[in-house]
Amino acid sequence: MGGVSFNFGELLKSVEEAQEHAEITSHHSNFAESTEAVLNLVCTTCCKPCRSRTYFDYFLVIIIYTVKESELHTKRTGHTEFVDKIMETVKSTSLEAAPKPAVEIDNPDDCSSGSGDAAEEMVVPEVDKNILEELEAMGFPKARATRALHYSGNASLEAAVNWMVEHENDPDVDELPKVKSVDWISKLSNDVLLMILSRLSTKEAIRTSVLSTRWEHVWKHVSHLEFDKPKINSSTEFCEEPNPDDTLITKVIIKHLGQLESCVLNYSSSQGRTGILDIWIQIFTSVKHTRVLTLNRHYDGCGKVFEFPSDSFSHPSLMSLSLSSYMFTSSDPFRNCSNLRTLKLVLIEATNVEVFNTLLSSCPSLEVLVLNIRCFYETRGPLKIKNSKLKLVHVLLKRNIGGLEVSSTSLDILVVEDTSFGKKDFFLSSPKVQFTNNFWVAGRFAPQISYYISKEEKSIVHEEFMNNISGGLCESIGDVLKSMSVSIDLMNRTEVERLRQVLRLWICEMLVLEIIFKDNKNAPNESWEKKLWEEDNNNNAVFPNAKFRVNALWMPNFSGSEEEFAFVSCLIKHGTVVDKMMIKTSAFTASKKLEIEAAVDKLRALQTEEDQLMIKCF
């Protein structure tokens, strides 16, 4: 009976086995017909088949052994009788390669699909490289050491050596181990793959389509698209020809399937000249039903002023809109925008303040409003923000706006970074938010945050506020915002943690911090709350951190209660307040005033001789 042998002289039974060997070894491809007798021995005692190869050559360091596999089986088991069953399994052989079966490919659009599109290949398993190097240094061949590590579970050097001693007579001891290479990621459902792709940029997600047929269509179902900022066009000549980047963006939008949760479009002013931007917006809103849309226009020295069509953003599905670097001559694009809950206008210009006032009145459902705006022409009237549903207002008014009027019964956070007007042109009507005179300190402007901290465990407003500040939507909080007024319940862990998060954003010394303590008479009396301010809490951690400093602390309603005293004591001991601590007592009754002043004396007793802090009642 003949066989097929490869260039090292090892005997293979069939063409299929030769093909498999060629795939595994990559470089073995020379085969020749052999007439050498081949045995297919089977032990008569345990029926274990012994390989049909006559001899196995293997090495231990530099000693060569040649052992028949049947003799090896006898040595291990004591079984001595064998029967040749080669005739029972004989197959005709041919040097022509047998055709491989076609590989089935799962439907990539089937969300329950879990199979790959390629045959499983055999690869050398990963082993502990450090132990492998030690074994090689001891003189063991790499293949044997790798095999020992794999089958001993990469446990230790000793375990690998013991395995080699026990298996030194194995015919394949010097062959690299092979395991099936399975693409487990491609076997996952589309839901899981989409979760993975959501961690990638849109460009990276699209690139996965070339991995295999399985991945070709997965990216088309992602819930978020983000188009990177394009390269700046050095030409200043205006051209109505389609921009290549426009074509690419359009192709991606059209190929995407289903709806979008959010989309960020960064484009240059040289793009969108042929009306394509209008088409993109219509597709995003009316076709894709995008809930969160961000349009960032980057000026590259060319292009004309873009005018949004009327009712551009009134689709019911659109909940959040962010625009950057546009100019409005009218508020028509925002007509009938009762759908919007969040509106962010950054680096936006309008011809006059009435354009902004009409725009805001067309969005009666807003809860979050961020404005970084200015007017092209000088106007005398104020910016009017009147909406009972607003919870967060963040404004930076740069030029030609004559005042600010804010009125909202739901307002929790008011951030004023910059204004082009004085104190007399500012009006605030909100039952929860306090805006102190510290905003205009000694006649100069001091940007301020006023924050009524919510006790709700999940606060979208707080998350939005933190994202706006830390994400650099407007100016740097650590450099610009010097004053803060906060209302807090010290007996509520959620509120205390939110105050900690906000104060940690400061990288420079805060000018003024005003703390208004909420009435917590109805709060449950839980003893652990006060430990938030004690020295031994959280491994001697300083509130909010060791770097935070404030020049002046004002407390208009300090009552001397246990939790308030503990909190202020913590600030004094760690030197958080640098210059002065002002405690208002004039609003209390005479008896209560004496009680507070006694608590203040105890606070002063905490100071050391080196302290320059002044603690004063007024």
Residue 508, domain member (yes or no)? yes
| Confidence label for 436 from pLDDT (cuts 50, 70 and 90) | low
128 and 61 in a common domain? no
79 and 139 in a common domain? no
515 and 601 in a common domain? yes
Give the long-range contacts of residues 25-34, CB within 8 A, separation 24 or more: 30/6, 31/4, 31/5, 31/6, 31/95, 32/4, 32/5, 33/2, 33/3, 33/4, 33/95, 34/2, 34/3, 34/4, 34/5
Give me the amino acid identity at 48.
K
| Confidence label for 536 from pLDDT (cuts 50, 70 and 90) | very low
- Domain end, chosen from 180, 203, 225, is at 180
529 and 595 in a common domain? yes
Q: For the segment 267-277, what is each residue's pLDDT rounded down to a tens digit? A: 876 665 667 88
Residue 553, domain member (yes or no)? yes
- Determine the average pLDDT of the residues in 394-402: 86
150 and 74 in a common domain? no
- Domain end, chosen from 32, 59, 84, is at 84
> How much is the pLDDT for 61?
30
609 and 494 in a common domain? yes
Among 64-68, 192-196, 388-392, 514-518, the minimum mean pLDDT is found in 64-68
Residue 551, domain member (yes or no)? yes
Q: Which residue has the tokens 């061949």?
A: 141
The percentage of the chain sitting over the pLDDT mark of 90, rounded to a whole number, equals 36
Q: Can you give the CATH number for the domain in which 145 is found? A: 1.10.8.10
- Distance set, CA 597 to CA 515, 584, 608 (Å): 18, 10, 19
pLDDT at residue 411 tops 90: yes
Average pLDDT, the chain: 76
Per the structure, the complete domain to which residue 169 belongs is given by: 123-180
- Domain end, chosen from 139, 159, 180, is at 180
582 and 522 in a common domain? yes
Half-sphere exposure of 391 (CA within 13 A, CB side): 14
613 and 487 in a common domain? yes
- Which residues are CB-contacts of 79 (< 8 A; sequence separation ≥ 6)? 43, 44, 45, 46, 73
570 and 516 in a common domain? yes
22 and 127 in a common domain? no
604 and 492 in a common domain? yes
563 Cα distance to chain centroid: 37
Q: For the segment 341-366, what is each residue's pLDDT rounded down to a tens digit? A: 999 999 999 999 999 999 999 999 99
Q: Can you list the alpha helix ranges (DSSP code H) found in 438-561?
A: 460-470, 477-480, 493-503
Residue 164, domain member (yes or no)? yes
Residue 200, domain member (yes or no)? no
> How much is the pLDDT for 102?
32
| Confidence label for 387 from pLDDT (cuts 50, 70 and 90) | very high
535 Cα distance to chain centroid: 34
Number of domains in the chain: 3
Residue 305, domain member (yes or no)? no
Residue 159, domain member (yes or no)? yes
CA geometry: angle 226, 338, 455, nearest 5 deg: 80
Residue 552, domain member (yes or no)? yes
175 and 77 in a common domain? no
Among 306-310, 534-538, 611-615, the minimum mean pLDDT is found in 534-538
Q: For the segment 477-493, what is each residue's pLDDT rounded down to a tens digit? A: 545 557 889 999 988 88
- Which residues are CB-contacts of 115 (< 8 A; sequence separation ≥ 6)? 104, 106, 186, 187, 214
Cα separation, 41 vs 44, in Å, equals: 9
Q: For the segment 164-176, what is each residue's pLDDT rounded down to a tens digit? A: 999 999 999 999 9
| Confidence label for 226 from pLDDT (cuts 50, 70 and 90) | very high
